[in-house]
Chain A
Amino acid sequence: QDVTLIMHHFLPPVANAHKVMLEPWAQTIEAESDGRIDIEIYPAMSMGGKPSELYGQVRDGTADIVWTLLGYTPGVFPRTEVFELPRVHKGSARDTTIALNASLDLLAEDFKDIHVLFLHANDGNLIHSASTPITTFEDVAGMKLRTPGRSGAWTIEAMGAEPVSLPVPAVPESMAKGVIDGALTTYEIVPALKLQELEKYTAELPNGDRFGTAVFMVAMNQDAYDALPDDLKAVIDANSTVNVAAEIGQMWEDFEVEGIAALDAAGVTRTVFSAEEGAKFDAANDTVVTRWIDEVSSKGIDGAALVDAARAAVAKAEAQ
């Protein structure tokens, strides 16, 4: 082959992201380049460093390609964060992923030091509760919930609950010990953390809405990309951004199936809030959006315009 590219990421090889998304993506590139590109995947931070360092690694070229969660480096991608917000992300990984990749021009300032291959979201957060039944807005008040990130913490605060930041592997132990009452996270993560054995209730919003999402990226070192001959760049481009968004987004919707099945098999009660209760959550989530706009405005970013643009992009994806 002509080039070997090193891909580094933070999950073990058994994770869906590795075996269903990254590995097949790499194989496609290898096949379509007639074997001239070889991608070696190093999972589970095996090349060293903490997950929060993946962005630095791809920017500096320690790794050629990384898959990382933007929330690992809070503050570094201020614009893209808009897609994590509740009421912007509705409840579909597919729609938000298409919207993200269609909006790259708008977000360009966040990614000027690297070459984005694609961005994606997961299907979105819902409330997981160890032992407290949740059917109303008021039930959530006072709960200690593990937050998936910065905007997640605001979402939890807006419900009158208390955000706790913990590393993902600490979640099961902390839930079992009562250090947290639950978590704001996805269905997708349930089997990996065996949440079905630790919790009795989940609760989500009506109309398939969720409490925001997390944005991930697969990015390439700019120099490594620039150094490729044009025909190999074309192979990479054909498997980047808008060209793969719908497929990758759909993948993340499908990842939920397994988690939901595990919860149902374990007899976990899954509640969908009534329209009346949903309206109360919507009102709370609107304050999260306002808070976000205020915060990025202090950095000289037009947050309101970004929210409008992101909502429009999600709506457009939904219509597709």
Chain B
Amino acid sequence: MHAHVTRLADIFAMLGGVILFVIVMVTTTNTGAFILDRILAPVGVNVSGLPGYEDFVQLAISGAALMFFPYTQASRGHVAVDLFVANAPMVVKRVLDHMWLILTAAVALFLAYWMINGLLESRSDAAVAGVLGWPIWPFYIPGIASMILWAIVSVSQIFGDARYA
């Protein structure tokens, strides 16, 4: 179970990475067009950038950022202050770790629940991105899925991951 969940978190992280590379390509194209435009301006040639580029980056990064959360959890990457508990007895460490994992799962589910409401509201409001005019609500989906997976990863660590216990 733990291994499968970790693998899924890895896949989410990779998808987030793909989104980052798409942003890199789109930005590089847009900036390339900008530089060409500068170079060719004296000869009267206009090179147009990608309209709505900033909207695109904003929508795309929202997916990538949240898709990283489960993998960060799977790698125990959400920072914590280690100093004071480092020398505590093993049983104390384990109890604390399990408590925080349950709490993390609860927070993740809380966020998922409210994001689902946010998606529904954004859809019924018909909110769109300014220049692109794309509807906003589909961009809530990666985040919601990521919050749910984050909760599952945290719970699975109680059983399958003794790294901090």
Contact = CB atoms under 8 A, between A and B. Distances in A.
A54 interface: no
B48 A162 contact: yes
A153 to B, nearest CB: 5
A74 B54 contact: no
A56 interface: yes
A179 B130 contact: no
B117 to A, nearest CB: 10
Given A147-B131, A149-B130, A150-B133, A142 B46 contact: yes
A78 B55 contact: no
Contact of A74 (B46, B48, B49, B128): B128
Interface string B104-145: 000000000000000001000111111101010000000000
Given A162-B48, A162-B49, A165-B52, A76 B130 contact: no
Interface residues of B, number: 20
Nearest to A147: B131
A73 B127 contact: yes
Given A75-B125, A149-B130, A150-B130, A162 B54 contact: no
Given A56-B121, A150-B133, A165-B55, A76 B48 contact: no
Contacts of A75: 125-128, 133, 135
Interface in B24-41: 34, 38
Contacts of B133: 74-75, 150
Contacts of A56: 121
Highest count of chain A CB atoms <10 Å: which of B121, B131, B133: B131
Nearest to B135: A75
A163 B131 contact: yes
Contacts of B46: 141-142
Nearest to A59: B121
Contact of B130 (A78, A153, A299): A153
B126 A299 contact: yes
Contacts of B54: 164-166
B42 interface: no
Contact of A179 (B34, B121, B126): B34
Interface string A256-268: 0000000000000
A35 interface: no
A114 to B, nearest CB: 12
A71 B49 contact: no
B34 A165 contact: no
Contact of B127 (A76, A157, A165, A166): A76
Given A142-B46, A162-B51, A163-B51, A74 B130 contact: yes
Interface in A143-191: 144, 147, 149-150, 153, 157, 162-166, 178-179
Highest count of chain B CB atoms <10 Å: which of A71, A149, A150, A166: A150
Nearest to A52: B127
Contact of B126 (A76, A157, A163): A76
Contacts of B128: 74-75, 150
Contacts of A144: 49
A163 B38 CA distance: 17
A74 B51 contact: no
Interface in A14-59: 56
Contacts of A163: 51-52, 131
A141 B127 CA distance: 30
A163 B129 CA distance: 14
A292 B57 CA distance: 25
A128 to B, nearest CB: 18
**CB-CB nearest 9 A-B residue pairs:** A75-B128, A142-B46, A153-B131, A76-B125, A165-B131, A75-B126, A165-B54, A74-B130, A75-B127
Interface of A: 56, 71, 73-76, 78, 141-142, 144, 147, 149-150, 153, 157, 162-166, 178-179, 299
Given A157-B51, A178-B38, 12 more contacts: A76-B126, A78-B126, A150-B128, A150-B131, A150-B133, A153-B131, A162-B48, A162-B51, A163-B52, A163-B131, A165-B54, A165-B131
